[in-house]
Chains A and B, each alone.
Chain A
Amino acid sequence: MDHMPENWGRPRSEIYGVYNSAIHNAGPATHTQQPSITGTSVIALKYNKGVMLAADNLASYGSLARFTDQERLIKVGKETVVGISGDVSDMQYIELLLERLIIEDNYEQDGHNLRAPHIYEYLSRVMYNRRSKVDPLWNAILVAGKKDDGSPFLAYVDLLGVTYTSPSIATGFGAYLAVPLLRKIASDDGDEKNITEEQARAAIDECMKVLFYRDARSLDKYSVATVTTDGEVTIEQNVRCKDMSWRFAEHIHGYGTQKM
């Protein structure tokens, strides 16, 4: 059996003449995009009175720290916060979609309003449909709010249309660095009942500090959003990482083998 897909369906040279290798080398059509201006991790965890999210204020242009005032946590409707990482122009498009969604939802003034689980389902459909057209919105999104039964709601959707929900979630580098730290207090469903607001905030601040140490595309200035099960949304801006230690830098010379 020939295990090379490039050779499957190929006519035999003895019968049909020498194979035109231009066909063989053509390859599939590719429409892969790349993001241009990007935001890094968004992190979040549930606590006893709701959900807390954080995202730094950096919009990077590759390795250039281009804009340091980019807000990536969005309040949607009355009781929902959406945090977005990835391409910033796609993030702005999503903000526009959400704004239109809320405006239309408010036309009737009939006592029915879209809440976090509904906004999440809507965004999941948008993201998956764009992926299916091979024209993704290059983002990873966290949606936070409260469920119909009043308990905290936190869920993830990304450019592939992948969805999941968990007591603690983070996108980008946060998935590797922040999630283990968040899971020390919020790992299983129900853990959030034992977490106070102060504990949640301490965990968030610690994770943002670690991310600033280790994520080379991060910033030490960030925003923290709190969505309570009472329906209150607060976004605290211009929070800075505190009590960092960069003394290890004194001993570093160059990038690898340089001694002086």
Chain B
Amino acid sequence: MFRNSYDNDSITYSPTGRLFQVEYALEAIKQGSASVGLVSKTHAVVVALKASGENIYICADLVVIRSAEELGSYQKKIIRIDDHLGIALAGLAPDARVLSNFMRQQAMSSRMIYNRPIPISRVVSAIGDKAQRNTQTYGRRPYGVGLLVAGFDETGPHLFEFQPSGTVLEYFGAAIGARSQSARTYLERNFDQFPEASLEDLVLHGLRALRDTLAQDKELLAQNTSIGIVGLDTKFTLYDNDDVRGWLEKLGNVGSTRGRRPPEEREPEATEDAPVTDAPPPEETDTVEPIETDA
């Protein structure tokens, strides 16, 4: 899969109709730590696991890794766009910064010209179109970040997933980043409860889904967990550090269940904690899905 002659630039198709550069961009997202989003009838919530120095940089020395986690700061994963709108990211954070600044401009423009908060579907269409341009222009690379856009507009709360291909899809619950399949499994099992859930229950569902993405022996901590909440009477509010302690206490069990669950429930460990090195990665079990085309 990684030795192709059709992957030199974004504008070349493979004989099977794939754009490899775009698919490689999707791989970049899987290297970032997880973000989870979910929606009820009244609120939209995003929760994210913040990576520390150990996961951000290439590091082969395990001794050094342990202290980097304690010394370093944690990557900001949730960004407020406007009073009614925020995003959670996974992947190349600088690309997320560029996209979030663009979204802020769009949101400001809507308030200035039309005196209305920008509808969520419109702002995600705008970044979707922006991302698509980079998949069809020579010399440009696709954005290397996936976003979960949580917002509230006239038609209620919304959660959209944005991908570097330009695909934008609305979800009841979504998860992106490393080991996100575990979170998705939790969401699939529980999403019936989301529409009528109270805000507290919704956040706890999100945290449980996020907990399932933890690597072995890791925990959800105040320093590495971020929560973003928006609703009808709730402006987009970001909870970090001390502000998430209350939620984590309500959650109770904050530790990873990896390695302790019965084998049939455990997801394959292939992608966990693999540092980015020059050696070819272990056999991938997440199949790389081809980009959706009109069949």
Contacts and interface: CB of A to CB of B under 8 A. Distances in A.
A250 interface: no
Contacts of B125: 108
Most chain B CB within 10 A, of A112, A118, A122, A125, is at A112
A125 B122 contact: no
Contact of B113 (A108, A110, A117, A122): A122
B121 A108 contact: yes
Contacts of A111: 154-155
B277 interface: no
Interface of A: 108, 110-112, 114, 117-118, 120-122, 125
Interface in B91-145: 112-116, 119, 121-122, 125
B112 A112 contact: no
B114 A110 contact: no
B83 interface: no
A110 B116 contact: no
B23 interface: no
A245 to B, nearest CB: 46
A122 B154 CA distance: 19
Most chain B CB within 10 A, of A120, A121, A125, is at A121
Most chain A CB within 10 A, of B112, B114, B155, is at B114
B201 interface: no
A121 B155 contact: no
B121 A125 contact: no
Given A111-B155, A112-B153, A112-B155, A118 B114 contact: yes
A108 B126 CA distance: 12
Contacts of B121: 108, 110, 112
B121 to A, nearest CB: 5
27 contacts: A108-B121, A108-B122, A108-B125, A110-B119, A110-B121, A110-B122, A110-B155, A111-B154, A111-B155, A112-B119, A112-B121, A112-B122, A112-B154, A112-B155, A114-B114, A117-B115, A117-B116, A118-B114, A118-B115, A118-B116, A120-B115, A121-B113, A121-B114, A122-B113, A122-B114, A125-B112, A125-B113
